[in-house]
Structure 1
């Protein structure tokens, strides 16, 4: 339990950082005089880097040892945080966020490896649920802490706060995490890594460029889109042919795993893509501070964390083909009701009620779909399946954030986008509020559309519990 609690502190550090940044997007846009389609790379770059290192975690553990790798990841995350807080322009901030993502992406898989080795089978379930505290605490406290630091101190402190946290984790982990001996690792598919990561980055860059140019035929759009698609196609082809690929996509040939992966990709694109919009709506349309905007998102984070704990037990008793469509419907209902009432003067109480539904449906869907996908695989396939699903989740998050930000940028009723709004006086902003709310309303439609599409693969999942 001591080991688990130390690992939780490290994971909270990473989850805090992810959620804090969403509240800071508006302030960062003003600070660097940059549009939303560019500033969103502060979140997207982090997600892409996080996803890129997940497939390498098993190889790195074998090469360097779990304890040594975990300490190095925590130290690199803290250093990356200090560099991000010291950024002098938007390009440097995005680059340092990539450093954070690359180190933060190792914390969860390496922590799980350490815990699996340290815990006996009879205590594993309890200790794994302890790790789930990070998923609850980070999204709950991150926006509020970030809002306070942004309003009362500086946006830079939302990164500097990771330095004392990182130092605490290093001291504690060095004392309580048992030393392990590196083992000969399996070969790493370096060529696959060099195809996948640039391919995803180019695809998302092409999408954001399309939003900026409003023209898919422009060379600035077509070139990265085609290059990215080509690299991803080559990566998929390689993954299906080599004996030990970076991501073993062959696990998706299993019907339940394939349907679960499709569900996860669609749902995560809509659900996580909308996370960037909520604090922006409260700040841009309603004129709230970063602290208030973060606090108003608490109902969604709280409902998500609680439902995640309950859903982990329900999916062991209810067939996924019956449970997951119901959970997705809860999220879909929340998003539809939220979109319908989203306006310049919508009641915060009514919005909070719909946020409870959105969070409950999201938390009730994400963990059960991962459980469903991996449970249908053989014991030998489960690690590969888990890695593929984590990669799908982080990639979907990055794509969702990019698409939402580009769509909102195109719909904002002011020439110059988000950065132009910062120069308007309060009276002009108030006059624009209805049109701004409409832009957010139409952008938010992406989420319920993607979540509704996730119902299709959900209905293909087994409607009976597997027999022992």
Structure 2
């Protein structure tokens, strides 16, 4: 590894340079974060215009999440090999191209393919944002900078469904993808001016075999799950599931036997706190992303709300998450993970229960209150789970733990989305909402496995 010869900038100069760099990456991150929720309210119109069933249209979300997941292990390696600026420009370029192609899609299949390309860019944008700001801020300013990142991270999910509703009702579904274009172009222009060039290079080898085995196995299993909706597809689904399980088994066996660095450090799962926290992150991925797919369709089809009104109806949940994250943060360092996670998941379960008994005549105000409580619960539970992942690991293991836990959470998100689509297609909204409650209650039970002592 070679290091730059130039001496570091004086503190005042570094502080002045940090503000435009922070703005540069946050503009790009805002586009990627918006895209995680803005598409949710477009799924109903997408299904109608592209003549696609629910189990097919859910891949518009699932393909994006899986692509974001697949690219996570590449970020650290590619930044070390090519530099953060080059990786950042590549990520913005992929996301911009994917957004333009998604807006021009002519069928469900083409949209899913272009969403995969968009997800590759989006999956790189968010980790590079955190990495670059952590490097630039240093320990003395990291808290303030990450506070700004956290604010944007909470603002985007809240505004996404509402903005999506405005665009869909006004100009159609294509604009939920075209809206990314000006944000990315602004970030590209700012990158040219303020994003520094880095000279450090790392010659680590990439685990290409692992990079092929893990995503292929997950996609095969999810494809098998969505194939169970019809009697004719059961045989193919079983074969696909067997193939997916075989690929994941091969990945796990190979990773545990390798002496070189693997795509994921599976030995981290020997640590009880990391294991329980990561399993809980999978559960949170299932219980939060599955309903994120289901609820916009529920409001639009069962309550006949427009895309904008559905986005407004969903806003209380993300508002609850944001408020809880701000309030619960001060207690996360004082208390062990288990009691906070149990309290949060209990609130989320209570907030989900009214949907089990809801009818098309149930007032949306009551459901909005329930969503606010559900959001508060998830906001309280997610913080201690994130802490549990790192609490007993040595510092050198933290980057590997971040990669592994994030990948597991996004696999959970893809699983939850596919599962909700299959249940909805097979039985309608009543069983889907019941399963939304069951999965959330399962998260409450699983929270008991988290560490109970500081």
TM-score between the two structures when normalised by the length of structure 1: 0.90
Tell me which residue corresponds to 1:410.
426
Q: Give a deviation string over 1:124-177, Cα, whole Å, max 9, x none.
A: 111112111232111111111111111111211111111111000111123222
CA distance in 1, matches of 2:398, 2:139: 17
Q: Give a deviation string over 1:287-329, Cα, whole Å, max 9, x none.
A: 1111111111111111112212333332111111221111111
Is the 2:41–2:165 contact (alpha carbons within 8 Å) kept by the matching residues of 1?
Answer: yes
Q: Give a deviation string over 1:188-246, Cα, whole Å, max 9, x none.
A: 110001101111111000000012x1467x33211211111110111111121213110
Tell me which residue corresponds to 2:317.
300
Match of 1:4 among 22, 41, 66: 22
CA distance in 1, matches of 2:139, 2:200: 23
Tell me which residue corresponds to 1:464.
453
Match of 1:62 among 80, 97, 113: 80
Tell me which residue corresponds to 2:131.
113
Q: Which runs of 4+ in 1 moved over 3 A?
A: none
Equivalent position SS for 1:297: helix
Tell me which residue corresponds to 1:416.
none
Q: Give a deviation string over 1:60-106, Cα, whole Å, max 9, x none.
A: 10111112211220121011100110111111100000001111001
CA distance in 2, matches of 1:460, 1:83: 44
Equivalent position SS for 2:396: coil
Aligned Cα root-mean-square deviation (Å): 1.4
1:453 aligns with 2:442: yes
Tell me which residue corresponds to 2:35.
17
CA distance in 2, matches of 1:171, 1:148: 27
Match of 1:276 among 284, 293, 316: 293
Shift of 1:54: 0.5
Alignment of 1:126-141 (within 5 A): 126-141=144-159
Is the 1:7–1:131 contact (alpha carbons within 8 Å) kept by the matching residues of 2?
Answer: no
CA distance in 1, matches of 2:284, 2:47: 28
Is the 1:8–1:133 contact (alpha carbons within 8 Å) kept by the matching residues of 2?
Answer: no
Shift of 1:462: 2.5
Tell me which residue corresponds to 1:31.
49
CA distance in 1, matches of 2:153, 2:359: 30
Is the 2:338–2:384 contact (alpha carbons within 8 Å) kept by the matching residues of 1?
Answer: no
Task: Give ranges in structure 1 of 5+ residues lacking alignment.
Answer: 412-438
Alignment of 1:67-216 (within 5 A): 67-211=85-229, 213-214=230-231
TM-score between the two structures when normalised by the length of structure 2: 0.93
Tell me which residue corresponds to 1:368.
384
Q: Measured at CA, do residues 53 and 247 of structure 1 come closer, stay the same or move farther in structure 2, by a change above 3 Å?
A: same
Tell me which residue corresponds to 1:286.
303
Is the 1:151–1:291 contact (alpha carbons within 8 Å) kept by the matching residues of 2?
Answer: yes
Q: Give a deviation string over 1:251-285, Cα, whole Å, max 9, x none.
A: 11101111111212123212221111111111111
Shift of 1:182: 4.2
CA distance in 2, matches of 1:61, 1:313: 33
Is the 1:311–1:368 contact (alpha carbons within 8 Å) kept by the matching residues of 2?
Answer: no
Tell me which residue corresponds to 1:316.
333
Q: Measured at CA, do residues 173 and 314 of structure 1 come closer, stay the same or move farther in structure 2, by a change above 3 Å?
A: farther
1:384 aligns with 2:373: no
Tell me which residue corresponds to 2:410.
394
Tell me which residue corresponds to 2:346.
329
1:248 aligns with 2:265: yes
Equivalent position SS for 1:462: coil
Shift of 1:4: 2.3
CA distance in 2, matches of 1:374, 1:177: 30
1:348 aligns with 2:364: yes
Number of residues of Structure 1 aligned to a counterpart in Structure 2:
435
Equivalent position SS for 2:257: coil
Is the 1:80–1:100 contact (alpha carbons within 8 Å) kept by the matching residues of 2?
Answer: yes
Task: Give ranges in structure 2 of 5+ residues lacking alignment.
Answer: 1-18
Tell me which residue corresponds to 2:236.
220
CA distance in 1, matches of 2:255, 2:304: 48
CA distance in 2, matches of 1:458, 1:282: 30
Greater shift after overlay, 229-238 or 329-338?
Answer: 329-338
Equivalent position SS for 1:381: helix
